[in-house]
């Protein structure tokens, strides 16, 4: 499975792509989309949209993982970040990718083992987990961490989904049998 992780931002949007085979994680690509600040908001969002479309076309991921925006103390900043995230979601949806969303706490816990880890800890663990020669830039590291989080969580989520389906199916059969006995 190839996973594209995205760390959306209106000034800098990080992306990271990894391959997952069993428990082995392999680095494919990463980078940062630098969004010019001297252009209008719609054009800034278009930069994110167009560049992420290109990343998807170049790397051909199977799924995408995206960080969920949290509400901070400045509502205007949160709104702008939400718009950048929306542009990223549109780019991924345009390429028909399934998108999985994770909070910053989930991502950090999955990669570092602590939900309140510092950015530097995330960068170092991404370097270690993907066996990179150097420490990745902060935005790329966050995006790669998002992809790693999905690689760790997806198999468990899939198994839980199968268990829930089997439980619902077996309950349905039990009710059906009971209905036949009573009817």
Point out the catalytic residue in the list 38, 50, 62, 139. Answer: 139
Point out the catalytic residue in the list 67, 94, 120, 142. Answer: 67
Tokens matching residue 29? 């690509």
Helix, strand, coil share (%) of the chain residues, nearest 5: 55, 20, 25
Tokens matching residue 182? 């009573």
Residue 67 is among the residues annotated as catalytic for this protein? yes
Q: How far is CA 142 from the centre of its chain?
A: 10
Give dist(CA 82, CA 104) in Å, integer. Answer: 15
Burial class of residue 146 (count of CB atoms within 10 Å of its CB; 0-12, 13-18, 19+): buried
Point out the catalytic residue in the list 7, 58, 62, 158. Answer: 7
Q: Which residues are catalytic?
A: 7, 67, 139
């Amino acid at each position: 499975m190839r996973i594209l992780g995205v760390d959306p931002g209106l000034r800098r949007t990080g992306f990271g792509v990894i391959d997952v085979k069993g428990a082995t994680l392999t680095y494919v690509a990463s980078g940062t989309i630098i969004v010019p600040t001297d252009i209008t908001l719609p054009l800034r969002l278009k930069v994110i949209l167009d560049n992420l479309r290109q990343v998807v076309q170049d790397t051909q991921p199977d799924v995408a993982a995206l960080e969920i925006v949290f509400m901070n103390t400045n509502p205007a900043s949160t709104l702008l970040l939400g718009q950048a995230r929306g542009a990223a979601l549109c780019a991924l949806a345009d390429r028909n990718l399934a998108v999985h969303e994770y909070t910053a706490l989930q991502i950090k816990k999955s990669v570092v083992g602590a939900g309140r880890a510092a950015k530097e800890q995330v960068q170092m663990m991404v370097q270690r987990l993907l066996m990179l020669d150097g420490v990745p830039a902060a935005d790329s590291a966050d995006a790669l961490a998002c992809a790693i989080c999905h690689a760790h969580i997806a198999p468990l989520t899939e198994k839980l989904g199968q268990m829930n389906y089997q439980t619902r199916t077996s309950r349905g059969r039990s009710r059906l049998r009971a209905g036949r006995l009573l009817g």
